[in-house]
């Protein structure tokens, strides 16, 4: 059982079901829009703009399937991205209301992981690259004609970088949460030529590096501090 002074997170199956339905609606809705947007005599945005950019980068031609793909990806990210940000923020605020303090007198475990400064550089770097590419395309897409093939590849991943940067920034800004309790499982599973390592605590499963996983025992009671957005492990301490 979890420590009564430090209860674990409560589950919300109804909320999870609603989130699943919302994700499905967004995916199907944007898929239908992407199809309709380019089959009309007067294509809708952003399909029309993507057609024009491709024509500049590909000797006056555009690919129907490619244009559908980038239109769907863009509308999916533009619709689902803000919902993701709102959902992460709401969940972090709700969990912060009952957040226990991280025990300072427990034995802290050390392992090699990205520093806060490195995470900020990655988040701001992705945001900057996405804004720069978008600004160039909107201002004068013909500037990228000499590297048209690369520009078309970049256009596919551009929507993801547009949302990835802000999501990583939000993950750093949201209040961290702390879980305390006995380990319920230590798991390792193959992933290609490598392995994944997980720790289960208070009904929550965390991905951890191998060095940290090896430092834990199934009988340990631990405290885990994780990021407010994606539950990335930031600190672990073991009760003496």
Output the DSSP codes for 51-120: HHHHHHHTTT---HHHHHHHHHHHHHHHHHHHHHHHHHHHHHHHHHTTPPPPPTTSEEE------HHHHH
Kindly give the residue spans of alpha helices, DSSP state H, lying in 12-63: 13-39, 47-57
Mean pLDDT of 115-125: 90
Any idea which of 15-29, 42-56, 196-210 has the lowest mean pLDDT? 15-29
- pLDDT for 15 equals 58
**What pLDDT was estimated at residue 5?**
44
Question: Residue 2 above 50 pLDDT?
Answer: no
Q: Please report which helix (H) or strand (E) contains residue 138, including its range.
A: helix 116-140
Q: What is the tens place of the pLDDT at every residue in 126-150?
A: 999 999 999 999 999 999 999 999 9
Higher pLDDT, 95 or 172: 172
The tokens describing 240, both together, are 């003496």
Q: What is the pTM of this model?
A: 0.74
Confidence at residue 96, expressed as pLDDT on a 0 to 100 scale = 67
Which pLDDT belongs to residue 48? Answer: 95
Q: Name the average pLDDT for the chain.
A: 87
Domains in the chain: boundaries: 13-173, 177-238
Cα distance between residue 157 and residue 165, in whole Å: 13
- Beta-bridged to residue 229, according to DSSP, are none
Rounded distance, CA 164 to CA 158, Å?
A: 10
Sign of CA pseudo-dihedral 141, 145, 149, 150: negative
Whose structure tokens read 């992407």?
Answer: 34
Q: Does the CA dihedral 235-186-168-89 come out positive or negative?
A: negative
Q: What is the pLDDT of residues 10-48, one digit of tens each?
A: 444 555 677 778 889 999 999 999 999 999 989 999 999
């Amino acid at each position: 059982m979890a420590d009564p002074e430090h209860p674990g997170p409560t589950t919300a199956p109804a909320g999870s079901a609603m989130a699943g339905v919302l994700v499905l609606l967004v995916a199907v809705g944007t898929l239908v829009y992407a199809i309709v947007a380019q089959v009309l005599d007067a294509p809708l945005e952003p399909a029309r703009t993507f057609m024009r950019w491709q024509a500049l980068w590909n000797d006056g031609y555009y690919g129907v399937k490619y244009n559908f793909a980038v239109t769907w990806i863009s509308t999916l990210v533009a619709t689902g991205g803000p919902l993701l940000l709102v959902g992460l923020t709401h969940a972090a605020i709700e969990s912060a209301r009952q957040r226990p303090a991280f025990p300072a007198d427990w034995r802290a475990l050390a392992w090699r992981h990205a520093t806060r400064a490195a995470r900020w550089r990655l988040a701001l770097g992705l945001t900057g690259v996405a804004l720069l590419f978008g600004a160039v395309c909107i201002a004068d897409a013909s500037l990228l004609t000499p590297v048209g093939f690369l520009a078309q590849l970049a256009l596919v991943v551009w929507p993801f970088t547009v949302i990835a940067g802000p999501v990583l920034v939000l993950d750093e800004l949201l209040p961290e949460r702390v879980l305390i309790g006995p380990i319920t499982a230590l798991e390792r599973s193959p992933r290609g030529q490598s392995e994944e390592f997980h720790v289960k605590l208070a009904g929550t499963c965390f991905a951890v590096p191998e060095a940290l996983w090896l430092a834990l025992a199934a009988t340990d009671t631990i405290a885990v501090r994780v990021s407010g957005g994606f539950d990335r492990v930031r600190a672990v301490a073991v009760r003496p």
